[in-house]
Amino acid sequence: MSSVAQPVPRPLRRRRDATLSLGVTTGYLSLIVLIPLAALVLRSTEGGAQAFWDAVTEPQAVAALKITFLISLIVVLINAVAGTVIAWVLVRDSFRGKSIVNALIDLPFALPTIVAGLTLLALYGPKSPVGVNVAYTTSALVLALLFVTLPFVVRTVQPVLLELDRDMEEAAQSLGATPLQTFRRVVFPNLFPAILSGTALGFARSLGEFGSVVLISGNQPFKTEVASVYIFGQIESDNVTGAAAVSVVLLVASLAVLLAIGGVRRWATRHDS
């Protein structure tokens, strides 16, 4: 994929332009993302390490974090399967209205989270027209999170499926492999990095979701209260340091997941040029 022969020595101005683009990137990233996050981290350590530790080991905080991680994991596993199936259908299948369905996939990004929460509540809550009432339970949490993370896996898998070379699949089929075997051995390994990326993003997003969850889950401490709602509660109780501390935990967890997935993806594609 990259050039083989040692090229002509690069002129100096290319290095300067490279530095410029790198400089702009770092500057922008710092101003927009890193500085606010630094302020957050520093605030969380204002009371010293002991205060930080106390804040994140408070029973309610621990419960909120546990619930958040567990539910996000469940959501993500469902998404991995559902998202792949949907992407498959959108790429490999054809039916009337497919392009409309395709356009709808991005809606969860555009719909305000409160609207998502409210409509799910209207549909699957106490006044449900279809008789399904899961509001204020952990199922409601899962539902809300499935909604907001729907696009992630679909959109990372679709482009890969589109680019996929069908030759290998056809070869496998002609050699007698069943569709399932073909999928498992030929297609899936190629999709795996994309599925992984999508689920990692969905997981990271689920960890932090607030707007839809706060309306539909009931926010029972120790039962359905997620980390972001807990953080909100701490801010409102004038415990900004504690709120910042738990936020930092979420932040580190998200970063760790993203880094890990990046690493796994690089490992999985190590044989690609």
| Cβ distance to another protein smaller for residue 23 or 189 | 23
Q: By CB under 8 A, is residue 56 in contact with another protein?
A: no
Question: Which of 56, 177, 221, 268 is the binder for another protein (CB under 8 A)?
Answer: 221
Selected range binding another protein among 147-155, 168-176, 184-192, rule: CB under 8 A: 147-155
Selected range binding another protein among 104-112, 165-173, 184-192, rule: CB under 8 A: 104-112
| Cβ distance to another protein smaller for residue 93 or 167 | 93
How many angstroms separate the CA atoms of 90 and 87, rounded? 5
Residue 82 is encoded by which pair of tokens? 């559902």
Question: Which of 52, 76, 125, 157 is the binder for another protein (CB under 8 A)?
Answer: 125
What is the CB neighbour count within 10 angstroms for residue 119?
15
Q: By CB under 8 A, is residue 162 in contact with another protein?
A: no
Phi-psi region of 90 (alpha: psi -120 to 50; beta: other; left: phi over 0): alpha
Selected range binding another protein among 166-174, 184-192, 238-246, rule: CB under 8 A: 238-246
| Cβ distance to another protein smaller for residue 35 or 70 | 35
Q: By CB under 8 A, is residue 207 in contact with another protein?
A: yes
Beta strands, E only, the chain: none
Residue 157 is encoded by which pair of tokens? 């898998």
Question: Which of 70, 77, 101, 171 is the binder for another protein (CB under 8 A)?
Answer: 101
Q: How far is the CB of 163 from another protein (least distance, A)?
A: 7
* Secondary structure (H, E, C), 18-68: HHHHHHHHHHHHHHHHHHHHHHHHHHHCCCHHHHHHHHHHCHHHHHHHHHH
Q: How far is the CB of 95 from another protein (least distance, A)?
A: 7
Q: By CB under 8 A, is residue 115 in contact with another protein?
A: yes
Question: Which of 47, 88, 164, 173 is the binder for another protein (CB under 8 A)?
Answer: 88
The residue assigned the tokens 């509001």 is 135
Tell me the one-letter amino acid at 26: T
Q: Which residues contact 169 (CB under 8 A, 6 or more apart)?
A: 182, 186, 187
Q: By CB under 8 A, is residue 179 in contact with another protein?
A: yes
